[in-house]
């Protein structure tokens, strides 16, 4: 090159050479002897460069021998079991109503009647059963399951009724590495966290399975999170009522002796997922055998299909999936 050019001049000459420059720029190049000479030289060099690039294009690039197998293996990681379908609870209810054709008032009356019957059964069971006996009745023999082995579970004993507790716990629950005390949760040990409150008989909300929940349990609001506590009187997102508070009206003692060990059983968890409107084979991202307002509770953390930055969290009581109101909290959170 017989002259030096700035980057801007280089771009100008290239654009003129490609026929992509404005008329004024073309005129400017031709008005300058230095730029005009540069244009000629670049034109010649451009042909040489194209020739070199053409030669490089002929060099065949073979993919690594195992690339396809590696890709298959990587894609298998994301097969259906890892992509839970969180069905919209409102949609499930609407679809169910459409199928049955039942008026909502009739269904509501039937639900209340059912709950009264269940409450009666619950009291009777409480009076006559030990925890272990009821556990055995509820979930049958504890069996090792491939599903159980794959679920990352912890048993923190954390109380998720405290405001902000769920969001604070998510980074820890989703982190790899040490899961001390947690792996035991699904591998045969007791899942009940070592909290003294566990000695207190359960008082679970006597509300319907999805009591007075908003159509969508919650929605993510840009960097924050929202959730809904069920079985509380206030109904405010920020008001996490205590299901264990006997003074709260509308609650009855029911199935009080059921322990969280029941949800160690994959079959029981699948029934719980079904009750939550999830696919039975849903694979959670994390489980935490913890507490809610002092009572044993299982926190279930799920990915949200097509929203990789979001997580759905359910906190359920030990009776989840058994037909009584066990949904204590649900919400959508930003993935940490």
What is the contact surface with other proteins in residues (CB under 8 A)?
A: 1-2, 4-11, 13-15, 17-20, 41-42, 44-57, 59-64, 67-68, 70-72, 74-75, 77-80, 83, 306, 308
Q: Strand 153-154 vs strand 286-292: parallel, antiparallel, or unpaired?
A: parallel
Tell me the sheet residues that pair with 278: 86
Residue 1 CB, shortest distance to other proteins, in Å, is 4
Between 54 and 247, whose beta carbon lies closer to other proteins? 54
The least distance separating other proteins from the CB of residue 297, rounded to whole angstroms, comes to 31
Q: In terms of CB distance, is 13 or 169 closer to other proteins?
A: 13
Nearer CB in complex with other proteins: 78/104 = 78
Report, in Å, the least distance between residue 284 CB and other proteins. 18
Of 70 and 162, the one with the shorter C-beta distance to other proteins is: 70
* 250 closest CA partner among 205, 219, 294, 200: 205
Which of 138, 90, 79, 99 shows the shortest CA–CA distance to 281?
A: 79
Distance between CA atoms of 210 and 54, rounded to whole angstroms?
66
Q: Compute how many other C-beta atoms are within 10 angstroms of the C-beta atom of residue 97.
A: 13
Given CA atoms 68, 73, 76, 77 in this order, what sign does their dihedral have? Answer: negative
- Shortest separation between residue 32's beta carbon and other proteins, angstroms: 16
Distance CA 300, CA 303 (A): 10
Phi, psi for residue 140 in degrees, rounded to 5 = 70, -170
Task: Report the C-alpha dihedral over residues 169, 175, 179, 185, rounded to 10 degrees.
Answer: 60
Taking the least distance from each CB to other proteins, the nearer of 91 and 109 is 91
Minimum distance from CB of 173 to other proteins (Å)?
Answer: 22
Specify the residue, 12 or 326, whose C-beta has the smaller distance to other proteins: 12
CB of 77 to other proteins, least distance (A): 8
Q: Please, which residue, 12 or 166, has the CB nearer to other proteins?
A: 12
Nearest-approach distance from CB 308 to other proteins, in angstroms: 7
Q: Which is nearer to other proteins, 73 or 97 (CB)?
A: 73
**59 or 98, CB closer to other proteins?**
59
Query: In angstroms, rounded to a whole number, what is the distance separating the alpha carbons of residues 237 and 45?
Result: 68
CB of residue 97 vs other proteins: minimum separation in angstroms?
27
Nearest C-alpha neighbor of 13 from the set 235, 32, 333, 223: 32
Burial of 257 (0-12, 13-18, 19+ CB in 10 A): buried
Smallest separation (angstroms) from other proteins to the CB of 216: 20
Q: Strands, E, within the chain: which ranges?
A: 153-154, 226-229, 286-292, 295-304, 307-316, 327-334
DSSP letter for each residue of 70-139: HHHHHHHTTSGGGS--B--HHHHHHHHHHHH---HHHHHHHHHHHHHHHHHHHHHHHHH--HHHHHHHHH
């Amino acid at each position: 090159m017989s002259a030096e050019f700035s980057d801007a001049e280089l771009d100008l000459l290239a654009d003129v050479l490609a026929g992509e420059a404005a008329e004024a720029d073309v005129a400017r190049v031709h008005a300058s002897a230095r730029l005009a000479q540069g244009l000629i030289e670049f034109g010649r060099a451009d042909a040489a460069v194209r020739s070199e690039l053409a030669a490089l294009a002929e060099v065949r690039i073979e993919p690594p021998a195992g690339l396809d197998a590696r890709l298959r293996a990587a894609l298998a990681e994301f097969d259906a079991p890892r992509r839970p379908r969180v069905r919209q609870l409102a949609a499930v209810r609407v679809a169910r109503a459409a199928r049955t054709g039942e008026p909502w008032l009739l269904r509501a009356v039937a639900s209340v009647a059912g709950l009264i019957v269940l409450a009666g059964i619950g009291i009777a069971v409480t009076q006559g059963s030990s925890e272990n006996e009821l556990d055995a009745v509820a979930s049958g023999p504890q069996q090792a399951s491939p599903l159980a082995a794959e679920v990352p579970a912890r048993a923190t004993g954390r109380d998720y009724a405290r405001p902000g507790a769920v969001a604070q716990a998510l980074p820890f629950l989703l982190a790899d590495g040490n899961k001390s005390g947690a792996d035991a949760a699904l591998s045969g040990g007791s899942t009940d966290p070592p909290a003294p409150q566990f000695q207190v008989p359960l008082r679970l909300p006597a509300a319907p399975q999805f009591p007075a929940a908003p159509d969508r349990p919650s929605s993510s609001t840009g960097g924050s999170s929202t959730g809904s506590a069920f079985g509380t009187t206030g109904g405010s997102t920020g008001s996490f009522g205590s299901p264990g508070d006997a003074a709260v009206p509308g609650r009855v003692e029911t199935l009080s002796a059921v322990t969280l060990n029941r949800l160690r059983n994959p079959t029981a968890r699948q029934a719980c997922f079904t009750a939550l409107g999830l696919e039975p084979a849903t694979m959670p991202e994390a489980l935490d055998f913890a507490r809610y307002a002092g009572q044993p509770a299982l926190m279930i953390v799920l990915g949200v299909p097509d929203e990789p930055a979001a997580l759905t969290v359910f906190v359920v009581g030990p009776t989840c999936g058994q037909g009584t109101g066990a949904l204590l909290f649900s919400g959508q959170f930003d993935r940490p």
